Amino acid sequence: MKTELDALLTALYVHLDDHVMPSPAQPRKRGRPPVLTSAEAVVVAVAQVLLRCDQERYWMRTAAARIGHLFPRLPSQAVYNRQLRKLGPQMSAAALWLARHVPTWHEPLRLMDGTPVRCGASRVTVNRSSLGEIAGYGMDKSHHAFYWGAKLMLITTADGAVTAFSLACPKELDERKQALHLLHVTPIAPGPCPIVCDKGFAGAGIEKAAADLGHRLIRPAREDEPAPALPFPGWLRQRIEAIIWTLKNQLGLERHNARHPDGLWARISQRILALNAVIWHN
């Protein structure tokens, strides 16, 4: 395993600048030019996640000491925050590009699960937050508790690289509808493959729709169903639980501190990009 942060950031910047978000030649505009290009800002955002600095204000105070030898000029906290919110779509595209360049992308197996992303814990936040257009009340069955936030759907490889993800309001789309939408709009593998999931994706409708796309859903049997001939691979099912735990605890997704929908999407993409970048670099 490679643990050299400078090597990871350098390799990530080279590949992003060459293949994903090359710096376009634009005419000089009035005002100050941006301190960081899009590729440089994304690399700085990845370093923030890997160094476990959840708040941009704290990160801008420590970034010079941690990565100042790679980025002699860094923007202010306000400029960095605005640039980070605008780069949400590019970070998600970069994360999926990295997932397609790991060896397990070609393995015919995927893991799928959804997890809540909490955005508030008080009624005042629910009434006043700008996240109301994407957040809503939902049920976290893993912890037997209601929450106010969004539902994050993940499809990953066996080693943890996220190949597709989406964010939806839990009141508008349940897990099955969100999973079907994700399977329709995003290629999760080079071809049809089995998808290991949990009982929440049970149903003739979703299984038929997934089969029409060429994917077979593998899940544990419900209590009212006969036991399958082959036992369900519970050990494999736990892998995506470990991936979600890594995103939420080690990479700070549970502490995203987002206040706007574009900021929430940017911070989720930032964490997933950091996870895929580490797997890709190793």
Write the pLDDT tens digit of every residue in 248-279: 999 999 999 898 999 999 999 999 999 999 99
How many other C-beta atoms lie within 10 A of the C-beta of residue 253? 23
pTM: 0.93
pLDDT, average across residues 157-181: 93
Whole-number pLDDT of residue 31:
67
Tokens standing for 202? 């049970």
Say if CB 252 and CB 54 are below 8 A apart. yes
Chain-centre distance for alpha carbon 152:
8
Write the pLDDT tens digit of every residue in 47-86: 999 999 998 889 999 999 999 999 999 999 999 999 999 9
**Residue range 104-256, CATH number:** 3.30.420.10
Whole-number pLDDT of residue 222:
82
The domain spans of the chain are 1-100, 104-256
Find tokens 């996870």 and name the residue.
275
Write the pLDDT tens digit of every residue in 113-122: 999 999 988 8
279: left (phi over 0), alpha (psi -120 to 50) or beta: alpha
Q: Which residue has the higher pLDDT, 277 or 172?
A: 277
Find tokens 């597709």 and name the residue.
164
- Phi/psi for 45 (5° steps) reads -65, -40
52: left (phi over 0), alpha (psi -120 to 50) or beta: left
